[in-house]
Amino acid sequence: MDSVVTELGRLVGEKHVLVGDAIGPEYTHDESLTVAAVSPRAVVRPASTDEVSKVLVFANARRIPIIARGAGTGLSGGATPVADGIVLSLERMHRILEIDEENQIAVCEPFVRLSELYAAAEDKGLMYAIMPGESSATVGGNVGTNAGGMQAVKYGVTRHHVLGLHAVLADGRVIRTGGKFVKVSSGYDLTQLLVGSEGTLAVITQVIVKLVPRLPNRTTVLAPFITLEEVTSAIPKLVATGLGPLMLEYIDMMTMATILQRSKMDLGIDPKLREKALAYLLMVVEGRDAERVEADAAQLGEKAIELGAMDVYMLPATAARQLIEAREQSFWAAKSAGAGDVVDVVVPRASIAKFVAAATQVAANHQALVVGCGHAGDGNVHLAVFHGDTAVRDDVTKGLLRAGVELGGAVSGEHGIGVAKKAYFAALEDPVKLELQRSIKRAFDPNNILNPGNIFD
C-alpha cells in the first residue's frame, strides 16, 4: 500500500481516503469544455480545519500537489486533478454554522451549496445575493472563482459579499481574515486577495458572507430587438435610468431558440416578432412595494422601446422563473449543441456593442459559429465557440479574448483562469502584473503545492 495513502488515512480516517477504483469519475474533472479529466493519486475528505491543516503539513513536507475541490461545477478546469496529486474534497465540511439575523451575516463551512444557503437565508427573510447559474456550486468554490452571476448588476460579485475567511496556508498554518464587520482598514486586505485565488494561495475552510433583506416583489420584462447591436447599445442607457435592475441579460437569437426548445417553453411572443428578433433583453426589477416595482418595470420597458425594442412583454411569474432557469442552463444547451469552448470576457459596459461586433468579425474570419448571451449589465459576455477543428477554435477563442482585452476588458469576468484560460492569460496580461502575481504565489506557497498549474505555470 502507498505509504502516502496510509498516512493520509491516519490523518482523516481511512474511509475518507479514496484511491484507485474507489475514485468516482466526478472527482476527475470540472465542467470545463477544454480540460481533459485526470485521475489523481488519491482523494482526501477532511472534516475540519484542523484536518485540512494536518493534510497540508504532510503534503508540503513531501511536495505533493493539493487540488482543493468544491462541487466541481467550475468552467475553467480549476478543480481538475494532477496525476501525482491529491484532490482535497471539502464535501464533509458542509454546515451552515450561523445565520446571524442582527448583523445580516451567514457563517459557512466551504462545502455549503448555494441552494442550501439560499433556503436558510430565506427562512429568516434574508437573501444571499450571489446567483451564478449553478446553485449546486459551493460557497468555497464561489470564493475560489469570485463567482458572479445574474444578480451582479445590482449586488456585485462574491468578493463584495465576503467579509471574512478561515484559510489554511500551504504549510498548514491557519489564518483568520476579516470578520463579522462590513469595513476594515487594517493592513493589506487578505480576504480580498484570497477571493478569486482559485485554490492557489490557501484552502478556505470557513466563509463569512453578507446577507441582504429579501425584497418580496419582482417583475420581469422581456424585449425582442431586431439586431444584437441595438440590444448591446441599449445597456448603458438602461443602467443610466437609475431604476437599478436586479438582472439585465442579453440572449442572442440562437441561444434563445435553443433554451426555449430545451425547456419546451412558450413565452407568448408574437411569431412575427420572433421571426425578426435577432436578440432579446431580459430585465428584472425587484422591490418592497409591488406597485412601485410594476411602475419601474414599465419605465424600463418604455425606455427599451425608445432604444429600439420591437415590443416588451411583462412575463407572468412562472414564465419568468422558467426563463431565468433556462437562461442559467444555457451552458448545458451550448454543450449539448456541440460547443467546443465557452469564453466569459468582460469589457466596460459601454463597450459591449463594440465587443460583440468584433466577436462577429473574429467568427467570420475563421468561418466559426460564435453565439451567446451575457450578464450585459456587467459587460460580461458568454460566448460559445463552435468549430470542428481544435486549432482553429483555439484561434477563435484567442481572437475573442484579445478583442475584449483591447477594449479595456479582461480574459475572464467570473469563471476564472484555471487551466483552461492560462495560456491566453499569459499572452494577454501585463507581464509586470503577472510577475507580481507569481511573487504573491511564491510568498504564500513557496513549494508550489496548491493547485500547481492553475492561473499560471
Ligand X SMILES: Cc1cc2nc3c(=O)[nH]c(=O)nc-3n(C[C@H](O)[C@H](O)[C@H](O)COP(=O)(O)OP(=O)(O)OC[C@H]3O[C@@H](n4cnc5c(N)ncnc54)[C@H](O)[C@@H]3O)c2cc1C
Distance of CA 147 to the CA centre of its chain: 4
Determine the interface stretch with ligand X among 43-51, 61-69, 120-128, 227-235 (rule: CB under 6 A). 61-69
Q: Minimum CB separation from ligand X for residue 192, in Å?
A: 14
Between 8 and 87, whose beta carbon lies closer to ligand X? 87
Between 17 and 419, whose beta carbon lies closer to ligand X? 419
Angle among Cα 61, 63, 68 to the nearest 5 degrees reads 105
Determine the interface stretch with ligand X among 273-281, 326-334, 345-353, 424-432 (rule: CB under 6 A). 326-334
How many residues at the interface with ligand X, by CB under 6 A? 41
Q: Is 404 in the site for ligand X (CB under 6 A)?
A: no
Between 330 and 397, whose beta carbon lies closer to ligand X? 330
Grid look-up 437609475 returns 242
| Dist CA 33 CA 31 (whole Å) | 6
Between 40 and 140, whose beta carbon lies closer to ligand X? 140
Lookup: cell for 295? 411602475
Nearest to 89 by CA among 8, 6, 196: 8
Q: Minimum CB separation from ligand X for residue 355, in Å?
A: 18
Q: Minimum CB separation from ligand X for residue 154, in Å?
A: 14
Residues 6+ apart with CB under 8 A from 392: 366, 368
Q: Which of 132, 301, 340, 379 binds ligand X (CB under 6 A)?
A: 132
- Range 357-362, long-range pairs (CB < 8 A, 24+ positions): 357/229, 358/400, 358/403, 358/407, 359/383, 359/400, 359/403, 362/396, 362/399, 362/400, 362/403
Q: Is 178 in the site for ligand X (CB under 6 A)?
A: no
Q: Which of 64, 204, 383, 407 binds ligand X (CB under 6 A)?
A: 204
Q: Minimum CB separation from ligand X for residue 127, in Å?
A: 17
Q: Which of residues 21-60 bind ligand X (CB under 6 A)?
A: 30-31
Are residues 381 and 344 in contact, defined by beta-carbon separation less than 8 angstroms? yes
Between 145 and 232, whose beta carbon lies closer to ligand X? 145
Q: Which of 55, 320, 451, 452 binds ligand X (CB under 6 A)?
A: 451
| Dist CA 85 CA 40 (whole Å) | 6
Q: Is 78 in the site for ligand X (CB under 6 A)?
A: yes
Q: Which of 16, 41, 54, 69 binds ligand X (CB under 6 A)?
A: 69
Are residues 445 and 200 in contact, defined by beta-carbon separation less than 8 angstroms? yes
Determine the interface stretch with ligand X among 99-107, 171-179, 323-331, 421-429 (rule: CB under 6 A). 323-331
Between 193 and 273, whose beta carbon lies closer to ligand X? 193
The DSSP symbol for 421 reads T
Q: Which of 44, 117, 137, 371 binds ligand X (CB under 6 A)?
A: 137
Nearest to 59 by CA among 203, 181, 195, 163: 203
Q: Which of 196, 199, 224, 372 binds ligand X (CB under 6 A)?
A: 199
Phi and psi at 231, nearest 5°, equal -65, -50
| Dist CA 260 CA 333 (whole Å) | 10
Between 301 and 377, whose beta carbon lies closer to ligand X? 377
Are residues 405 and 397 in contact, defined by beta-carbon separation less than 8 angstroms? no
| Dist CA 344 CA 332 (whole Å) | 15
Lookup: cell for 425? 492569460
Determine the interface stretch with ligand X among 199-207, 210-218, 267-275, 436-444 (rule: CB under 6 A). 199-207
Determine the interface stretch with ligand X among 36-44, 95-103, 128-136, 170-178 (rule: CB under 6 A). 128-136
Q: Is 377 in the site for ligand X (CB under 6 A)?
A: no
Phi and psi at 296, nearest 5°, equal -65, -40
Contact letters (x/-) for ligand X, 138-177, by CB under 6 A?
x-xxx-xx-xxx----------------------------
Grid look-up 462590513 returns 182
| Dist CA 374 CA 328 (whole Å) | 10
| Dist CA 382 CA 356 (whole Å) | 11
Contact letters (x/-) for ligand X, 95-124, by CB under 6 A?
---------------x--------------
Q: Which of 75, 108, 362, 403 binds ligand X (CB under 6 A)?
A: 75
Grid look-up 472563482 returns 145
- Specify the 3-state DSSP secondary structure of 203: strand
| Dist CA 196 CA 150 (whole Å) | 18
Between 65 and 74, whose beta carbon lies closer to ligand X? 74
Distance of CA 51 to the CA centre of its chain: 28
Between 151 and 233, whose beta carbon lies closer to ligand X? 151
Give the other-Cβ count within 10 Å of 274's Cβ. Answer: 16
Between 32 and 233, whose beta carbon lies closer to ligand X? 32
R_g (Cα) of the chain, nearest Å: 22
Q: Minimum CB separation from ligand X for residue 67, in Å?
A: 6
Q: Using CB under 6 A, list all residues that contact ligand X.
A: 30-31, 67-75, 78-79, 90, 110, 132-134, 137-138, 140-142, 144-145, 147-149, 198-199, 203-204, 328-329, 331-332, 414-415, 418, 451, 454
